[in-house]
Structure 1
Amino acid sequence: MATAAAFGGAALILSGCSSSSPADSDGGGGSLTVLCTVQEDQCQQVMDTFTAEEGITARYVRMSAGEAVARMNASKANPEFDVVYGGGADNHVASAEFGLLEPYVSPNADVIPEEFKDPDGLWTGIYWGMFGFCANTDVLESIGADVPQSWDDLLDPVFAGNIAMAHPATSGTAYQAMWSQVELNDGDQDAALEYFGDLHSNILQYTKSGSGPGQMAGRGEIAVGLIFAHDCIKFINEGFTNLETIYPEEGATFEVGAVSLIKDAAHPDEAKTFIDWALTPVAQEIGVATGNYQAPTNPDAEVTDDMVDRDEVAVLDYDITEAGAARDELTKRFDAEVAPQPKE
C-alpha cells in the first residue's frame, strides 16, 4: 500500500491522436502510443522532446483522467496504448484494480521520494499539485460576494449558478475535490456526498475536463471554478488577470500525477524507455516550459515561484491506494445521487 503523507501519426486510427513526427515515419527507433492526461500543450512538448532525445516516435491521445481509465478498460482485450502519462495516482490505482497496468520499477525511480511512487512499480509520480478554487474577482464584485476562503463558503446562496466543477466520473480533478471532502469528514463518504448535494444548487455546469471551470471563470461565465491551483495560475499567466487562486483554509488533498506501463502493451520496451525518461529532470521541467506549474517529483528538477509552496497551505493527509480503490463506486454514487438532482 502506498500512502501519501502531508508534506512541508503513422496513420494511427485513434480519435484525437497526435504525433510528434511525420505520419509516414517512426523515426527509425521504434514507436509507442501514449495516453496523455496533462494539458494539450504539455502533452505535445513531452512527445516532441522524448522523440528528439530518444529517437522513438511518440504518438499520443489527450483525455481527462477519468476518461482515460474508461478508455483503457474498454480496450483491455486489445490495448490501444503503451503508457498512461499524467492523471492522479488514484486513477492509476483504479486502473490497476481493473487489471489494466503492468508493474515496472524504473531504475530512475530511485531518486523519486517514497510518497510519490508505488513500491511495486504500478505507478511512479512525475509531478504533484494542490487542489484549489479559481475565482473571478470581477464577477465576485458584481454578485456581491467575498472571495471564498473555505469549502463552506461555497455553499452560500450568493453563489447560486456561479460555480463550476468537472464531473468526477470523467475528471481526476473533480475526484480530488470529492476525496478532499471524504478526508474532511473523517472518511465518511456519505457525508462527502451530502456536501456535494448541498453544493449542487450553486453549480452552473459539470464539465468534462478538470481545467474547464477555470476557463469559464476567466471568461466571466462563473464566479468560481474548482480546479487544480496550477491550472488557475496558468490561466492567470495567459491573460486572465481577473482570476485569483485560493487554497481552502480547511485543507485539500493533492494530486500525485503519475506514469504507468499498460498491461499487454504492444511496445513494452519503448514504453519502459519512455517511463525512464519521464522521471528525469529534463522531462519534468517541460511543465514549466509550457506554462504548467505542477511541482516535480524529481528533486533535481527546477522549482519556480509559480508552484505551490507546501509550507503555506493546508494539505490533507490521504491514502492514495484507498482513494483509488473507492473511485469507481464513489463516482457512480455521485452520478446517481448528486448530478441528476433538481436545483433548489
Structure 2
Amino acid sequence: MKRILCSALALVLALSLCACGESGGDTGPTYPAAFAGLEDQIDAAREEGRLTVCVSGEEPFLTAACEKFEELFDISVTVRTAEPDALPNSSGTDVWYGGDEALCRTLSESGGLMAYTPEAASALIDPGYGHEDYCVISTDALGIMVNSDVLARMGISAPRTWDDLLEPVYRELVWLPAYDTAEGRLFVRAMMEYFGDDAADYLTQLDTSVQFYTTGTDTAAKCLSTGECVIGIGWLSTGLTAQRNSGSSAIAMWAPAAEGVPGQVQTTAIFADAPHPNAAKLWQEFALSPQCMELMEDNGCSRFPTVWDGQETMPDIDPAQLKLYGVETEETSAAVDEVIAAVMETLAENGVDTEDAARWHVA
C-alpha cells in the first residue's frame, strides 16, 4: 500500500513540476527600462548579429561599452582602434565611438555619416548635444581649478575669469600647462581669440602669476588635493578625478563661460556605409543610455556625460559656450608659434630664466 501511495505522490509531483514549467513559458531576453519600446529595433539588430565599432583611443570605458553592448543584446562586437586625433578608416565599420567632434564634423560635412536621431537623444541634458548624424556623449572644458581651503586660509577669493589671473594677489600661485603641450597650445589659441592682438601681452603679464608650467595633463589637479597647487589651469575632468580619488571637498572648478570655454567633446556616430545598419542604430540608443554612460565613471573616466542621473556633480558647462578647436592647421600652428615666441622673447628680455626646467617643465 505504501509503495502505491509513494508512486502516486511521485506522479503528482512530476505532473505539478511540468505544469509549472509550462505556465512560466519562455519569456525571451529582457532589457533595461531604457530600451522599452525598442523591441522591433532590437530584433532587427539581433538578426544582423554583428557590429564593428571603431573607438578613438584606448580609454578603458570605450572597450567596456563594447563588452556591455555585446552582453546586453547578444550581438557579436568587433572593436577597432583609431588614433584620437585622426579620422578613422570606415571600411567595413559600423560606428565610430569616442571621436573628437571637430573630426566628426569634418566627416559629416563630406557625407561620411548616416543620419539618425536616437530616441535616447531626448534625454540629453542639453539639445545642443544632438546633431542630425552624430551625438555628443561627453564634454570637457579647459578651466580654472582651485584649492578653496588654501585660498580661504590666505584670505583670497578665487579667480573667476582669465583677466582675474593677472591680479597681484595671485602672484606665483598659478600652475599653467607648458606651451609645448597640447593643453598649453590650446590655452594660447583661446587667449588669441579672446584677447586678439593683445594675447602675447596677456600671456607675458600672466607669467608673474605662474608658479609652474606643467607637462602632465593632470599634474596641477593631482597637486590641488595636497595643497601644493593652489590654482591650476587644465581640463576640469582632471580636477573631478582628483576630487574623487582624494575625497577632498576643497577642490572647486569652473569654466569662465562669459569668455567662451575652450572645450573638447566625444561623439558617437554611424558610418554612411555601415554593413550592419540596424545594429548600428541600436548602438546609438545604447551609447546614450544610463547603462553606457555609467561606464565612464566606473572605468576611471571623469569627462562629463551628456546623459546621466549624476550630472549634478558636473560643473555647469553650457554647450553653446564651448569653443571647440579643430586640429591645428599649418596656418594656425604658425600663428600659435609666433605668439609663444613673442612671449618667450619678451620674458627673456625682462630677465626671466625661460630655460629653467624646474619651473617650465614640471611633470
Which category describes the TM-score, using the shorter chain as reference length? 0.5 to 0.7
Pick one of 37, 52, 55 that aligns with 2:71: 52
1:125 aligns with 2:125: no
Q: Map Cα deviations across residues 187-208 of structure 1 (whole Å, 9 max, x no partner).
A: x644456544543562733546
Q: Give, in whole Å, the separation in 2 of the partners of 1:334 and 1:318.
A: 22
Q: Give, in whole Å, the separation in 1 of the partners of 2:196 and 2:52.
A: 43
Pick one of 55, 78, 83 that aligns with 1:34: 55
- Contact 1:84–1:262 (8 Å) recurs in 2: no
Residues 82-231 of structure 1 aligned to structure 2 (within 5 Å): 83-85=96-98, 87=100, 89-90=101-102, 92-93=104-105, 102-108=113-119, 110-111=121-122, 112=124, 114-119=127-132, 121=133, 123-136=134-147, 147-156=158-167, 158-160=170-172, 162-165=174-177, 170-171=182-183, 175=186, 177=187, 181=191, 185=194, 189-192=196-199, 195-196=202-203, 198-199=205-206, 202=210, 204-205=212-213, 207=215, 209=217, 211-218=218-225, 222-231=229-238
Q: Map Cα deviations across residues 219-275 of structure 1 (whole Å, 9 max, x no partner).
A: 666433223434312211111627522325663526554223467789887665543
- For normalisation by structure 1, the TM-score amounts to 0.61
Q: 1:100 to 1:249 in 2, by over 3 A?
A: same
In our comparison, the structure showing a higher alpha carbon Rg is 2
**Cα-Cα RMSD:** 4.7
Q: Give, in whole Å, the separation in 1 of the partners of 2:247 and 2:341.
A: 29
Q: Give, in whole Å, the separation in 1 of the partners of 2:244 and 2:79.
A: 28
Amino acid at match of 2:212: L
- For residue 126 of structure 1, report the CA deviation from its aligned partner: 1.6
Which structure features the higher share of helix residues? 2
Q: Give, in whole Å, the separation in 1 of the partners of 2:106 and 2:180.
A: 13
| Correspondence for 2:22 | none
Q: 1:56 to 1:243 in 2, by over 3 A?
A: farther
Q: Unpaired runs of 5+ in structure 2?
A: 1-48, 353-363
Q: Unpaired runs of 5+ in structure 1?
A: 1-27
| Correspondence for 1:12 | none
Query: Number of matched residues?
Result: 290
Q: Give, in whole Å, the separation in 2 of the partners of 1:174 and 1:278.
A: 31
| Correspondence for 1:16 | none
Q: 1:226 to 1:34 in 2, by over 3 A?
A: same
Q: 1:228 to 1:138 in 2, by over 3 A?
A: same
Amino acid at match of 2:339: E
Q: 1:102 to 1:190 in 2, by over 3 A?
A: farther
- Aligned-pair identity in percent equals 18
